[in-house]
Structure 1
Amino acid sequence: MTTTGRGSAAHPEKIEAHGSMLTNAAAKALAVLRIATGFVFLWAFLDKTFGWGFATPSAKAWINGGSPTKGFLSSVDVGPSGLQTFFHNIAGDAWTDWLFMLALLGIGLAFILGIGMRIAAGSLVVLMAMMWLAEFPLDKTGAKGAPSGSTNPITDYHFIYAVTGIVLALTYAGHTWGLGKWWASLPFVQKNRWLV
């Protein structure tokens, strides 16, 4: 929804966009949501890379030889056994670590800057789907019978983040307090609209 104006004399508080109206307050709220969501993923990247001691101790930082995926994926004990085996087999592999970390960094930066929102949203959906499968909230207990910690089998944080990403991309949330308008005006983005 590219903004075409700042409203009219009758509705100065609204932004017109392809026949629909988005209030300035709504655009700003979406911008706050976009930046906050981006920061969640950028922070995860930074903490896992440098081991700032929040989720990752310094000794297990990626720059100190730690693996950002090994601990989580090697401990998967929910879901179908074939799925568990798949996650155990890729845990700590260099390609898994790099792909995961690039996803965190790319999603985080894209959302904070408000650029490449469609790619970021698509990447976020894939990342959240993989993490949902690894945590498999449909199971109440793990393979050894211990509670899985699942509180809701369907609508959990994976689903909410994925939907948030889609909403942010579809509402052009990067155009408010972001570089979305500038990004969309670049010739290579104009030729490849999927980059918006």
Structure 2
Amino acid sequence: MTTSYETDRTTARNGAPARAAVDYLWAGLRLALGWVFLWAFLDKTFGLGFATERDAAWIDGGSPTAGYLEFATKGPFADLYQGMAGSTFADVLFMIGLGAIGTALILGVGMRIAAAAGALLLVLMWTAALPPENNPFMDDHLVYAALLIGLAMVRAEDTLGLGRAWGGLGLVERHRWLK
């Protein structure tokens, strides 16, 4: 069963395929959020001088989790996060997450996994600094998490991405959770 949104976005009045402007908006948001994740990965890996200075680069022995988890965590989960700060396990898992989520979003592949993993990572980051500084509960981590779920729900990977080709792979057709 198709929704009116799906019908509207796939056929024009004459029955020919059409792309709604909203598809390009969602694709643009997917690419932008993918860049947010991928840039964080690149900056922390190479110390490009934005959020991470050169001497704190991961490739030079710096920890991508130590600074934030040691000094920025507060609230009910602060002890938990501070205990993980700088551990190899936390650093590797965090960096794999940033790189994989960013790459998946930019390419438009594995959106369900990327959305779920990204939303989980963002909610965990939100819990690390409760309550948020400028609002009783809402901050950009929760907004980005909701955006990730929305991107997967509207199939944003199909516009300006490899989503259709990825979805047509035999492995992905057999295991739809890989879509």
2: CA distance, partners of 1:154 / 1:9: 45
For 1:1-196, list aligned pairs within 5 A.
Answer: 6-10=10-14, 14=18, 24-80=20-76, 83-137=77-131, 150-196=133-179
User: Which residue identity lines up with residue 9 of structure 1 in the other structure?
Assistant: R
With the length of structure 1 as denominator, give the TM-score of the two structures.
0.83
Q: Is the 8 A contact 2:118 2:148 kept in 1?
A: yes
Larger mean Cα displacement after TM superposition, 2-11 or 37-46: 2-11
2: CA distance, partners of 1:5 / 1:173: 12
Bigger fraction of residues in strand: 1
What is the Cα deviation at residue 8 of structure 1? Answer: 3.3
CA RMSD of aligned residues (A): 2.1
Q: Is the 8 A contact 1:76 1:88 kept in 2?
A: no
Q: Which blocks of at least 5 consecutive residues in structure 2 are unaligned?
A: none
Q: Larger radius of gyration, structure 1 or 2?
A: 1
Q: Which blocks of at least 5 consecutive residues in structure 1 are unaligned?
A: 16-23, 139-149
1: CA distance, partners of 2:73 / 2:85: 13
CA 1:57–1:188 in 2, change beyond 3 Å: closer, same or farther?
A: same
Q: Is the 8 A contact 1:50 1:58 kept in 2?
A: yes
Count, aligned residues: 175
What is the Cα deviation at residue 135 of structure 1? Answer: 1.1
1: CA distance, partners of 2:128 / 2:73: 8
What is the Cα deviation at residue 12 of structure 1? Answer: 6.1
1: CA distance, partners of 2:61 / 2:52: 12
User: Which residue identity lines up with residue 192 of structure 1 in the other structure?
Assistant: H
CA 1:2–1:103 in 2, change beyond 3 Å: closer, same or farther?
A: farther
